Amino acid sequence: MIVTEQREDDPALGALSALSDVAESSATSLTRLGDELSIMRRRRKRGWSWRRIVSADDSPNPMSIVTRIINNLGRASSELRRALARALRNEGLQVTEIAGLFGVSRQRVSALFRRGAPTETRD
């Protein structure tokens, strides 16, 4: 096992914290989404038209909740994936090793490096 010096400005740790925050927020939003979907289901069973259900003023559009959750999780998980790939590379792992850890191709890992800031150089 390689032990590395802890740095206060660890981008992977920051990205991990950000994803954790988004996951917590998403859990709350998913609960709210479940409530909204139940309301929609009840209204439909009562004979409401889909137009009336979707345009009702008393509840938010569930599709916008889903879109927000997906976008926020996607953005935060992408940042963590890039930060972890860089951190692992800086610790000496080869691209193929990182790919194995992430369960993706080496080309996908290489693309992560191209999209973000350059990796640090090691002495």
Tens digits of residue pLDDT in 20-60: 999 999 999 999 999 999 999 999 999 999 999 988 888 77
How far apart (Å, rounded) are the C-alpha atoms in residues 80 and 111? 14
* Alpha-carbon span 19 to 25, nearest angstrom: 10
What pTM was computed for the model? 0.74
